[in-house]
Structure 1
Amino acid sequence: MKSAVHLLAGLTALGCVAVQSPVWAEAGPVVQAPAGPLQGETVDGVDVFRGVPYALPPTGWRRWRPPAAMSPWSQTRDATQFGAACHQPVARGESIYSGEEPTMSEDCLFLNVWAPEGAEAAPVFVWIHGGALTTGASNEAMYDGARMAAAQGMVVVSINYRLGVLGYLAHPELSAESRQKVSGNYGLLDQVSALKWIKGNIAAFGGDPGNVTIAGESAGALSVMYLMASPEARGLFHKAIAQSAYMISTPELRSTRHGDPAAEMVGVWLQAQLGRQNLADLRGMDAQELTTASLGKGYAPWGTIDGKILPEQLVEVFDRGEQAPVPLMAGFNEGEIRSLRFLLPPSPPADAEAYEAAIRASYGPLAETFLKLYPSSDLKESLLATPRDGLYGWTAERLVRRQQRTGQPGFLYFFDHGYPAMDEADLHAFHAAEIPYVFGNVDRTPPRWPAIPETDGERGLAQAMMAYWASFARTGVPVASNQPDWPAYGEGRAYMAFEETPVVRDHLMPGMYETHEAVVCRRRAAGGIAWNWNFGVLAPALPPKTPACQ
């Protein structure tokens, strides 16, 4: 579990930011939703409803249970304040993602709605926050949906879901008490529950329950893939956007496979590490103590392949075409790893000669191809590019390729935009850097985030990206006024590059996808090797070629 400790120490740098509340009008709108009446607030033509509960609090005996539906309430509920964030670690250091410490509770299953005044049958954009399934919340300032709702005529929803050990623990005792005889995936089931609430209630806010787009970045994009793969979510959304997703190998409930220990056994291991005798003892722990201690012991939250909620590895589901057949947008950023340097080798090669020797030892017959993509002549950039492509680049291109096989369009993007403060900090197009542009919130970034300049160029790029995202959510085709048409990936391997302005290009990084696909294919065939952040000089020896893998 030492590698998990190292990974989580870095991943928890993805922190939460409390939104700064603007001055709101005194009178607020009241919505008569099937769940019950809600009173929100209106600002600049947008009705805002915050802290709306979508499921019963998962506290006490409900800890580590699937979310339970709430009975409708009859008294008008105040919806002017955000609900609590789900429990997460609070010490995040000097990360650019860090902000104010959020208010936390196990009573955290809330969502927020931004709706244009008078909206009717508007497209619905559902945002799933990132944070390694460990941190984050729906009230982060960058995720404020007011500008997207106002400018694009959309209903925007952001959701909380259980995180860390409280959201993803699998354990034999939990499986035994489950009707389906499975455990884990509670955070994912929270997301499904939120989508069911949206389906049943969003029309009251002016949204169209038949036109729902799920979108997320990083762990939010991982969640988008989980939802696309899960039978539990089928029919609850109609389009999907995955920003910096990673289609890594995932622990299975009772089997040690692909180098990952069985998820139930991880739960037993963690129980012992925490000095507890059984599930009742774990349920008796303080939620924050449990969250912090589990992280300290090296527990890493992932989805669990249980044959029901997640039927099979994501690569298998998408290869078989069993994912949700919906239009898909996917992409990644040029500088993903510049803000995630804990994913770099802890002991990098001393020079070009040592680097090439390590690559040849690990990649064998694919070594020369690999070294052409990631040459020793620019060791720093090659070390940054390898995990970027092995995690995010390969996943993005694989997603649009596989989605096309279902008869649905796939749209690929590459965010390669920089500005002075970002580039001076050696953070060009870093992980999550596209989010403020998508939401039009370039002035609502975390305190340590490189300040985005207030220029016509930055505002113009934000307007274009927001328009593309909103158009995709509305029609399944990304279009922006006075901007180039964004073609589907197709046989021409087209993509949209977001540089100083949007530019249509094709054949992104020739050979990148094929090389990483070949590596993952061989690892899958061998059966005992994970595919996650073990690329480049961290890669194990490449398994032999098989008839199915080059």
Structure 2
Amino acid sequence: MIRLRVALILMALAADPVVAAEPVVDAPAGVLQGASDRGVRVFRGIPYAQPPLGERRWRPPGALPRWDGVRDASKFGAACMQPKPRAASIYAWALPAMSEDCLSLSIWAPDTAKQAPVFVWIHGGALTTGSGSDPIYDGTALAKRGLVVVSINYRLGVLGYLALPQLSAESPDGVSGNYGLLDQVAALDWVKRNISAFGGDPANVTVAGESAGALSVMALMAAPAARGLFHKAIAQSAYMVSAPALRDPLNGMVPAEDQGSSLAAKLGSTDPAALRAMDATTLTENAAGTGYFPFITIDGKVLPHQLVDTFDRNAQAPVPILAGFNSGEIRSLRFLLPKPPANAAAYEAAIRAGYGDLADLFLARYPAKTIEESMLAATRDAMYGWTAERLVSNQAALGQGAYFYLFDHAYPATQEWNLHAFHAAELPYIFDTAGKTPPLWPKIPSSLSERKLSDAMGDYWASFAATGKPRAKGWPDWPSYAENRGFLHFADVPRAGSHLFPGVSALHEAVVCRRRAAGDIAWNWNVGVAAPPLPPKAKGCQ
């Protein structure tokens, strides 16, 4: 009966020459009418799960029944709730319409797609801001390279990551938090069930993201519920820092439930019913105003172990990976830096107090004579560089394809603003969206050299998503990390190399290893002059 109704609807649409020009897809989720854009079919604002609203707030996403009739998919869905920007930022957009009813995704598919590789993008924004509809993530160019591109929204901030003892007590699994991560799992499950209708291959899905999106990629690699929902991973500027456990004060972290209880008290009530009755905008703004920082939770269920422990156990998804970082990561994230010491002597004294027998190695790499540059490089390497190289090393050890990169590209505006290869600077090159960056983003020149770099990066990313091997016609083959620690250096043009920053990853691994062994120190933003005294060498650590 349903199929008969659908057939009648499609016949009626075909009878209207104006309406018939727009693409219509009959997916298991329901019938959708999208839009056409130069050989690419675009379907926006598709709901992938039932958002838990009102009295169901802070629960896993619900199953969404098939809708009746033809759903208009010409417009993006609402962004998930997020606080208004409190200061000017190169990353800030004018906020679109926001709602708790935000669990939607958008699809860009070639007109001729048939069993095409699928590229699922998870936006960044510190798990606090952002949207899959941000123009910089427009999937048109990647779709023209043969991919079916999917960009998703997921719950953010207090609505996406709050843990509370009372919420855990309500859960059949006895856990809370990680709701945004569960949304991502639900989106991948929707893709598995529906993407064939758009010409995509559910057996060839790459999950990709940058910054908090790359953190999410690692969490999905570690989450049992996501196993089998994707087949390759791309992590751009990921950070494998320590995360709070649900109830125990491990690794120097306040338990997630305790953090949630403290926040709830500041919001005026620890009663979930009262919190659920609170207006979503008020709740979001007030939580952000307290300094609440959303993060994933190690709860023993959704995320069984610290990410670094999962990868050490070889318990992560055994999939090929492409991972890397930018040379100027911290230039646009200076809030991650501690206050600089007064002079070189004070800098060296702080490093020796924090790094003990590893201080000479640290100072050789990050010398006191260039305090600012040393602090920028140390935080970059400890968070983003160490994470990226660890990811490719771990996946290579599993026998999976592993490809490492450094984005080191500059152009006049970034040099003028001292933002050489800043955090997220690679995004408009991969998506070919140089003309769709945020208003305060350093303007990318319209030049042949910029065009060539964007074409190369788009080709490498699309090739990896399609085959697991990044290739770009006319450019160097990307060496595997397993072969002499190979990497690709994106500066003026792509160049292959090996052994990026020799000894640096090993230094930061030694620091993390000792902190993990001590059990009461975070391996987080406490880098350089902010480092606590290094524990003594432990078994298995340098």
TM-score (norm 2): 0.96
Q: How does 1:83-232 map to 2 (within 5 A)?
A: 83-150=77-144, 152-232=145-225
Q: CA 1:257–1:277 in structure 2 vs 1: closer, same or farther (change >3 Å)? A: closer
Shift of 1:316: 0.5
Amino acid at match of 2:440: R
Higher mean Cα deviation, 138-147 or 25-34? 25-34
Higher mean Cα deviation, 257-266 or 239-248? 257-266
Shift of 1:491: 4.5
In the alignment, the residues of structure 2 paired with residue 445 and residue 275 of structure 1 have an alpha-carbon distance, to the nearest angstrom, of: 39
Q: Secondary structure at the match of 2:204?
A: strand
Preserved contact between residue 430 and residue 461 of structure 2 (Cα < 8 Å) = yes
Aligned to 2:315: 322
Aligned to 1:41: 35
Percent identity at matched positions?
Answer: 63
Aligned to 2:370: 378
Amino acid at match of 1:362: G
Kindly provide the CA deviation profile for residues 36-88 of structure 1, in whole angstroms up to 9, marking residues without a partner as x: 00000001010000000001122112210000010001210000000000000
Aligned to 2:250: 257
Aligned to 2:412: 420
Q: CA 1:67–1:149 in structure 2 vs 1: closer, same or farther (change >3 Å)? A: same
Q: How does 1:401-412 map to 2 (within 5 A)?
A: 401-412=393-404
Q: 2:519 aligns with which of 527, 530, 543?
A: 527
Report whether the alignment pairs 1:82 with 2:76. yes
Q: 2:59 aligns with which of 50, 62, 65?
A: 65
Report whether the alignment pairs 1:285 with 2:244. no
Q: Secondary structure at the match of 1:377?
A: helix
Aligned to 1:335: 328
Amino acid at match of 1:356: E
Q: CA 1:352–1:25 in structure 2 vs 1: closer, same or farther (change >3 Å)? A: farther
Runs (4+) of structure 1 exceeding 4 A deviation are: none
Amino acid at match of 1:456: L
Kindly provide the CA deviation profile for residues 204-239 of structure 1, in whole angstroms up to 9, marking residues without a partner as x: 000000000000000000000000000000000000
Runs of 5+ consecutive residues of structure 1 not aligned to the other structure: 1-23
Higher mean Cα deviation, 377-386 or 118-127? 377-386
Q: Secondary structure at the match of 1:454?
A: coil
Preserved contact between residue 373 and residue 511 of structure 1 (Cα < 8 Å) = no
Preserved contact between residue 326 and residue 407 of structure 2 (Cα < 8 Å) = yes
Q: Secondary structure at the match of 1:192?
A: helix
Report whether the alignment pairs 1:548 with 2:535. no
In the alignment, the residues of structure 2 paired with residue 274 and residue 530 of structure 1 have an alpha-carbon distance, to the nearest angstrom, of: 27
Length, aligned pairs only = 525
Q: How does 1:452-463 map to 2 (within 5 A)?
A: 452-463=444-455
Q: Secondary structure at the match of 2:495?
A: strand
Amino acid at match of 2:525: W
Shift of 1:148: 1.0
RMSD: 1.1
Aligned to 1:493: 485
Aligned to 2:291: 298
Preserved contact between residue 85 and residue 92 of structure 2 (Cα < 8 Å) = no
Report whether the alignment pairs 1:449 with 2:441. yes
Aligned to 1:476: 468
Shift of 1:92: 3.8
Shift of 1:547: 1.9
Q: Secondary structure at the match of 2:189?
A: helix
Q: Secondary structure at the match of 1:158?
A: strand
Kindly provide the CA deviation profile for residues 367-421 of structure 1, in whole angstroms up to 9, marking residues without a partner as x: 0000011011222210110110110000000001111121112100000000001
Preserved contact between residue 25 and residue 42 of structure 1 (Cα < 8 Å) = no
In the alignment, the residues of structure 2 paired with residue 360 and residue 526 of structure 1 have an alpha-carbon distance, to the nearest angstrom, of: 19
TM-score (norm 1): 0.94
Aligned to 1:12: none
Amino acid at match of 2:100: E
In the alignment, the residues of structure 2 paired with residue 298 and residue 201 of structure 1 have an alpha-carbon distance, to the nearest angstrom, of: 39
Q: Secondary structure at the match of 1:519?
A: helix
In the alignment, the residues of structure 2 paired with residue 177 and residue 264 of structure 1 have an alpha-carbon distance, to the nearest angstrom, of: 13
In the alignment, the residues of structure 2 paired with residue 358 and residue 491 of structure 1 have an alpha-carbon distance, to the nearest angstrom, of: 38
Preserved contact between residue 25 and residue 41 of structure 1 (Cα < 8 Å) = no
Amino acid at match of 1:484: P
Q: Secondary structure at the match of 2:80?
A: coil
Shift of 1:479: 0.3
Q: How does 1:497-508 map to 2 (within 5 A)?
A: 497-508=489-500
In the alignment, the residues of structure 1 paired with residue 64 and residue 397 of structure 2 have an alpha-carbon distance, to the nearest angstrom, of: 39
In the alignment, the residues of structure 1 paired with residue 122 and residue 158 of structure 2 have an alpha-carbon distance, to the nearest angstrom, of: 18
In the alignment, the residues of structure 2 paired with residue 404 and residue 25 of structure 1 have an alpha-carbon distance, to the nearest angstrom, of: 50
Amino acid at match of 2:101: D
Aligned to 2:11: none
Q: 2:424 aligns with which of 432, 440, 446?
A: 432
In the alignment, the residues of structure 1 paired with residue 258 and residue 466 of structure 2 have an alpha-carbon distance, to the nearest angstrom, of: 44
Q: Secondary structure at the match of 2:58?
A: coil
Kindly provide the CA deviation profile for residues 229-263 of structure 1, in whole angstroms up to 9, marking residues without a partner as x: 00000000000000000000011111110011111
In the alignment, the residues of structure 2 paired with residue 156 and residue 401 of structure 1 have an alpha-carbon distance, to the nearest angstrom, of: 27
Aligned to 1:537: 529
Runs of 5+ consecutive residues of structure 2 not aligned to the other structure: 1-17
